[in-house]
């Protein structure tokens, strides 16, 4: 997840994609090459050279941390790195590493940094034999899936068939698959152009996911622009949470490869769910929770200034910048939206889903503050605060702690009658009874009791995040002044 070196525009652009990008206002986004027939072997064209738990929401964003790779070849490499080759030079010196398709495709890229030399034996090519099963094309796919689409590179879902040690765009060497989701895959790669590692998100080759990824790129570009403005002389650097870009993951670039939109990011460490798992889910100290809270609040303040709603704040989407350090970054903007461009109603992972999303009420940036309260409670207690098995039970667990919703919370709710009786607002039995017949009574449990915490300031902070009406919740600005938050210790202190 990334710096922001802008790559040259691809000369192959479709009119339809140009129109889509203008609509989305994504400037200078390179378009995918049009679908081509498989080129003949001698054809010479152009080339450019060369990371949790299952979310209950269909989020294209489940983040994963890069575990140590089983493919160590590039892991120890750093600058200096070999200079780029021309496509002609690559064909002369690397032809044995290129399939017939690649020998035609390579001419589409002006610089060649890496050709997938590490695979060897033709094992990375469609129909080729791999040296070992884990390196075979599509070895990461579900049983029974076949690479029968997009010239043999995709399965029927539009997922790219990943081969370890192969290349992306003749520049990135694929080292490991670190995440999968409905959106596609996240790969840990070595960037042979910069001599550094990166996390590359490869979007499924389907229209719906491609369009949402364009929205993600638009948001990431907005954040990049805001960071640049804040860091410029005389810029409002105070709007940046860490002084390094608002505490949000940085995109390096985006590009198309074999009809897949790819987004390259800076590579971070493990996510907070994995960190808590390593800790045996015993819960974190209040001091460490406070450090994480302060950084997340500054990240949300940065997003709020850009009128962006994250829409999927959860422990899996908060990554440590480095192992054993408490500096964190917010990742995964695959479900995010601008406040005036809300296009989705089914958002947020269930345990962290705000009541207005469940009830079908118009939402705003307040849903991120609800999620933050749930996340901090989980980090402290070592378990989710509201672990509902479905939306009805989710509401029951919420009401059990914060009471039944006031009439104002149901006034504009399109799904109110799914969970509450018309007129009275009384919860329906299906909303208050679990599958095993247990009844959850609204307001019957105290928040401090559920958290098992005697720190009054912490309980107060969580309670102010978990209000039925978003306008009654803390905003990031007010939360940063709450007695539990200020003053803050350094974010880069050891864990």
The helix (run of H) or strand (run of E) holding residue 184 is strand 184-191
Q: Which two tokens stand for residue 476?
A: 């990031």
H helices then E strands: how many in the chain? 15, 12
Cβ-based neighbours of 424, under 8 Å, separated by 6 or more? none
Q: Distance of CA 41 to CAs 79, 88, 103, 166, Å?
A: 34, 13, 6, 19
What's the rounded Cα separation, in Å, for the pair 80 and 193?
10
Q: Which two tokens stand for residue 77?
A: 């490499």
Map tokens 């010479």 to a residue. Answer: 44
What's the rounded Cα separation, in Å, for the pair 424 and 422?
6
Give me the catalytic one of 312, 340, 364, 446. 312
The helix (run of H) or strand (run of E) holding residue 93 is helix 87-94
Q: Which two tokens stand for residue 380?
A: 């402290």
- Strand, coil or helix: what is 47? strand
- Name the phi and psi angles at 194, rounded to 5: -100, -10
Helices (H), 151-249: 207-231
Closest CA to 353 of 371, 372, 327: 371
| 244 CB-side CA count, 13 A | 17
Q: Which two tokens stand for residue 118?
A: 């590490």
Contacts of the segment 67-73: beta carbons below 8 A, 24+ positions apart: 67/176, 67/178, 69/175, 69/176, 69/188, 70/134, 70/176, 71/118, 71/164, 71/165, 71/175, 71/176, 73/118, 73/165, 73/173
Q: Confirm whether 446 is a catalytic residue.
A: no
DSSP β-ladder status, 108-110 and 46-47? parallel
- Name the phi and psi angles at 5, rounded to 5: -80, 120
Other beta carbons within 10 Å of 252: 23
Secondary structure letter of residue 472 according to DSSP: G
Residue positions annotated with a catalytic role? 312
């Amino acid at each position: 997840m990334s710096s922001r070196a802008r790559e040259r525009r691809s000369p192959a652009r479709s009119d339809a994609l140009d129109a889509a990008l203008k609509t989305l206002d994504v400037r200078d986004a390179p378009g995918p090459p049009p679908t081509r027939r498989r080129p003949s072997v001698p054809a010479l064209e152009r080339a450019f050279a060369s990371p949790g738990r299952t979310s209950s929401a269909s989020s294209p964003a489940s983040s994963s941390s890069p575990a140590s790779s089983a493919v160590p070849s590039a892991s120890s490499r750093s600058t200096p790195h070999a200079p780029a080759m021309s496509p002609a030079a690559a064909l002369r010196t690397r032809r044995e590493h290129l399939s017939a398709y690649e020998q035609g495709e390579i001419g589409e890229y002006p610089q060649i940094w890496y050709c997938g030399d590490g695979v060897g034996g033709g094992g990375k090519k469609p129909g080729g034999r791999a040296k070992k099963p884990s390196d075979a094309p599509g070895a990461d796919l579900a049983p029974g899936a076949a690479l029968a689409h997009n010239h043999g590179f995709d399965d029927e879902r539009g997922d790219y068939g990943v081969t370890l040690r192969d290349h992306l765009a003749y520049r990135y060497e694929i080292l490991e698959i670190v995440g999968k989701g409905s959106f596609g895959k996240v790969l840990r790669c070595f960037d042979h152009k910069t001599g550094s590692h990166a996390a590359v998100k490869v979007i499924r080759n389907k229209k719906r996911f491609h369009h949402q990824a364009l929205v993600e790129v638009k948001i990431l570009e907005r954040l990049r622009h805001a960071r640049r403005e804040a860091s410029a002389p005389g810029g409002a650097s105070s709007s940046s949470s860490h002084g390094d870009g608002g505490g949000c993951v940085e995109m390096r670039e985006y590009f198309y490869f074999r009809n897949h939109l790819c987004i390259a990011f800076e590579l971070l460490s493990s996510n907070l769910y994995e960190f808590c798992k390593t800790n045996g889910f015993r819960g974190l100290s209040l001091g460490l929770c406070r450090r994480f809270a302060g950084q997340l609040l500054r990240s949300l303040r940065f997003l709020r200034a850009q009128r962006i709603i994250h829409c999927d704040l959860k422990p899996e989407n908060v990554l440590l910048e480095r192992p054993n350090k408490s500096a964190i970054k917010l990742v995964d903007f695959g479900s995010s939206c601008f406040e005036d461009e809300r296009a989705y109603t089914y958002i947020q992972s269930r345990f962290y889903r705000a009541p207005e999303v469940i009830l079908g009420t118009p939402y705003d940036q307040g849903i991120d503050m609800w999620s933050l309260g749930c996340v901090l409670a989980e980090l402290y207690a070592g378990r989710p605060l509201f672990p509902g098995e479905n939306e009805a039970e989710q509401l029951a667990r919420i009401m059990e702690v914060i009471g039944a919703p006031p009439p104002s919370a149901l006034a504009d709710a399109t799904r109110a009658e799914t969970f509450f009786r018309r007129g009275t607002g009384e919860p329906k039995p299906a909303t208050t009874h679990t599958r095993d017949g247990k009844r959850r009574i609204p307001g019957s449990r105290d928040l401090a009791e559920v958290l098992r915490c005697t720190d009054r300031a912490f309980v107060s902070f969580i309670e102010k995040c978990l209000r039925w009406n978003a306008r009654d919740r803390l905003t990031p600005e007010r939360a940063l002044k709450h007695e539990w938050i200020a003053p803050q210790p350094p974010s880069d202190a050891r864990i």
